[in-house]
Structure 1
Amino acid sequence: MPPAIACDSCSNPKLTASHSHRPRHAKKPPIIPPPIVVPPLIPPPATCSLDILKLGLCLDVLGALVHVGLAKPVEDVCCPVLEGLLELEAALCMCSAIKLKVLNLDIYIPLALQVLVSCGKDPPAGYLCPLN
């Protein structure tokens, strides 16, 4: 018990100055965790990082498939060129190459997307080639 100084005129002792108003157990402030920061979504590539001319032979094989119905297996020609690209980028490159060669989009796009799937590059569901 802290030392007390008795007062002549009162019956209640007072604590000395060194011990007055000092809480016995101080509460620690609550620990607030830092806010969770979610990194922003990275937009898909807007351009093809591949030299689109490299896809020319692939498109020629697709053209032979469209016009003649016979062609060297498309996967043998196209897949090595698309290797290392992400699915969405591979689809964008294929679309860009088709537009560059001014080929009929309605005929070539479904074939090109099927080639991508055959090469293990599954574009997002409902993917459409950009119009620009």
Structure 2
Amino acid sequence: MASKATLLLLFNILFFSLVTSNHVPCPPPPKTPTPTPSHGHKHHPSKGKCPKDTLKLGVCADLLNDLVHLVVGTPPKTPCCTLIEGLADLEAAVCLCTAIKANVLGINLNVPVSLSLLLNYCGKKVPSGFQCP
């Protein structure tokens, strides 16, 4: 009986030493990158100006026409949505708003509805409280 207890004690000590010796510490928290100096000029990407050429947004006319009128199938996203793809929601809204108001699209439309249709179709959202400038 004593040999069984000794054997059990040895296995327990062996087991606990193996478990504690394989302890892997938690990784250190990631370092936050240090900001680079701005050399005096600050970049404000969305202060009411469109970073894209508004005339290029004329390609959105076909997409908007297909969205407004019932067209069988899904309209292609490529020329229009790829133009506003890398923009923030506010920048995309300003760009499309400028194009709609300048009538680059060539059709008279309800501006808020047209803007909402195009932005939603391209995976963007109309910023809350946004009105075309």
- TM-score tier by shorter-chain length is 0.5 to 0.7
More helix by share: 2
Do structure 1's residue 104 and structure 2's residue 132 form an aligned pair? no
Counterpart for residue 122 of structure 1: 125
Q: Counterpart of 2:77 in 1: which secondary structure? A: helix
Inter-CA distance 109–84: structure 2 relative to 1 (3 Å threshold): same
* TM-score, normalisation: structure 1: 0.53
Q: Is the 8 A contact 1:75 1:115 kept in 2?
A: no
Identity in percent: 43
Superposition misfits of 4+ residues, deviation over 4 angstroms:
none
Partner of 1:59: 61
Gaps of 5+ in 2: 1-43
Whether 1:69 and 2:73 are equivalent positions in the alignment is: no
Task: Name 1:80's counterpart in structure 2.
Answer: 82
Letter in 2 for 1:104: N
In the alignment, structure 1 segments of 5+ residues that lack a partner are: 1-41
In the alignment of these two chains, the number of paired residues is: 88
Secondary structure of 1:50 counterpart: coil
Give RMSD over aligned pairs. Answer: 2.7
TM-score w.r.t. structure 2 length?
0.53
- The structure with higher relative contact order (CA 8 Å, sep 6+) is 2
Please identify the structure whose Cα radius of gyration is greater: 1
